[in-house]
Amino acid sequence: MEIDDSQLNETNSNRVEKCEDKKDISASGEKGSNSSNLSGTSDSNLNLKEGSGNKGFQDRRRLRRNVNDGKNSYNKDWMDIERKNLQAYEYLCHVEEAKEWIERCIEEKIDSKQFEEQLRRGIVLAKLARIIQPGVVKKIFDAEKLQFRHSDNINYLFTVMKNINFPENFVFELTDLYDKKNIPKVIYCLHALSHYLEVTGFLHPAVKDLVGQLEFSEEQLNTVQENFEENGLQLPQFRNVEAAVQKEMVGKNQLTEEEKRELYYKK
């Protein structure tokens, strides 16, 4: 069967029209439209309908550009919350590090929930002082209810730190602990003391790094944040404490083994 040129041209013309129709439909969803509303399609896909079962996605926090100022800034509230959570988490890890170090030194387990109160009573600190310099601690006041006489236990540690020439800039005040004015400074002091003792030859290694290895509840993180905000406290530079101690040690002569025994174990 022969096909003349006019029939062939008509067939090709029909094919072209069908192709044009398909392009219009794929781009806009409606035949005959010449523009593509990609942004509108994208938004409709991201906006979840009620009852779709994807509530977790709807509630998810995201970093977002601040379109109001036209700059590449992000949601400040979100970043501030994350910063405070991280600060609280790191602080709680440092508290556990100090507790674990004291446990190794005095060879006793300490309840994490009661650690702060045990520090305030000074019993574990007096035991720590007795390990460092046994002759300093005369009698430990071990009443369960907090009393001012517990400050005698804390003073034993002050005496030991002075005897071993521990740098004063790391030492906390009695009110920081007993009156809970600055517990983070107390924890920082214990960290510094552990590094100082390790450098000068104390038997027990310094605190271990537990950041990233522990988990805490949201309630615990919130409690720490509230305490920091209410009392205007700042997190000490725990990451730099070892370097700070070593800097204090520069220029000081290393102790001989005999001097170490005399310093730490004299009766």
Q: What is the mean pLDDT of the chain?
A: 76
The rounded distance, in Å, linking the Cα atoms of 157 and 173 is 12
What would the two tokens of residue 70 be? 């036209």
pLDDT band at 126 (very low <50, low <70, confident <90, very high): very high
- pTM for this entry: 0.67
Domain 77-265 has CATH 3.40.50.2300: no
Residue type, 233: L
Instruction: Kindly give the residue spans of alpha helices, DSSP state H, lying in the chain.
Output: 5-28, 38-46, 55-58, 76-106, 115-121, 123-132, 151-163, 174-178, 183-199, 218-231, 241-249, 257-265
Q: Read off the pLDDT of residues 154-199 as tens digits, 9 standing for 90 and up.
A: 999 999 999 999 999 999 999 999 999 999 999 999 999 999 999 8
Can you give the residue ranges of every domain in the chain? 77-265
224-238 pLDDT tens trace: 999 999 989 988 999
